[in-house]
Amino acid sequence: QVQLQESGPGLVKPSETLSLTCAVSGYSISSGYYWGWIRQPPGKGLEWIASIHHSGSIYYNPSLKSRVTISVDTSKNQFSLRLSSVTAADTAVYYCARPDAWALIDYWGQGTLVTVSS
Amino acid sequence: QSALTQPASVSGSPGQSITISCTGTSSDVGGYNLVSWYQQHPDKAPKLMIFEVSKRPSGVSNRFSGSKSGNTASLTISGLQAEDEADYYCSSYAGSVTFGVFGIGTKVTVL
């Protein structure tokens, strides 16, 4: 059974960088699929952030691209997200997920709430 | 990257059928048979209910069905049950630059 688990600070100060890691179990990241981040502001809908393939292919949400870094660590079977210069608008539940090459997500992490506040 | 259009809310009585629409463009919904639907209960991660327009993953009730015509996809829930009350999001592949796009979400209420 594939499982994804997000980890990282639940509180980030404005203008700082949000950093999250997703640990994957039950499947090797190197075996295929994309690995992505999706967020959901409180009471709002889902928004793609970025997705990465172990080969290096990356998709970004154009509206976030300038602030996003996504990376994969195959040795630890995990992938990470960094979002710089955060504001209150970046407050959201952040999900890691496993999309295929056609953006179909079959596995999601449980989500982690990140609040941007001083 | 504009979100796909969905009605904000749809409601129905137990046993009835409801349909949720999802409208995009020829660059996403209309361009590919790669529409999926997700169910999200409060404080839970989304769950895949339909993929490739009309296919159901193993374990998903056959009360859930999907279709597409042009730039609009639809999710139908038949024999509505209390447990179906949730938010539903459509999603579509949107090409090799944008990758994926979600709908704005529809809240389903069982009366």
* Averaged pLDDT, groups of 10, chain A, 118 residues long: 96 98 96 95 95 91 95 95 98 97 94 97
Angle at A84 between CA A67 and CA A68, to 5 degrees: 35
Q: Do B98 and A105 touch (CB under 8 A)?
A: no
- Which among B74, B71, B70 is positioned nearest to B53, based on CA atoms? B74
**What is the Cα–Cα distance from A32 to A36, expressed in whole angstroms?**
13
Q: Kindly report the nearest CA distance between residue B100 and chain A, in angstroms.
A: 5
Bridge partners for B9 per DSSP? B107
Alpha-carbon separation of residue B82 from B41, B65, B89 (angstroms): 12, 18, 18
CB B5 within 8 A of CB B104: yes
* Statement: residue B1 has pLDDT above 70: no
CB A88 within 8 A of CB A101: no
Q: Is A83 helix (H, G, I), strand (E, B) or coil?
A: strand
Tell me which residue has tokens 């339909």: B50
**Residue-level pLDDT at A32:** 86
**What is the Cα–Cα distance from A69 to A19, expressed in whole angstroms?**
9
Residue of B nearest to A102 (CA): B93
Residue of B nearest to A5 (CA): B45
Which chain A residues are within 8 Å of B57, Cβ to Cβ?
Answer: 106
pLDDT digits (tens, 9 = 90+) for B27-79: 999 999 999 999 999 999 999 999 999 999 999 999 999 999 999 999 999 99
The shortest CB-CB distance from B99 to any of A63, A103, A106 is to A103
> Phi, psi (5° rounding) for residue B39?
-105, 135
**What is the Cα–Cα distance from B84 to B17, expressed in whole angstroms?**
11
The count of residues in chain B is 111
- Model confidence band, residue B6 (pLDDT cutoffs 50, 70, 90): very high
B32 at interface of A, judged by CB pairs closer than 8 A: yes
**What is the Cα–Cα distance from B31 to A37, expressed in whole angstroms?**
24
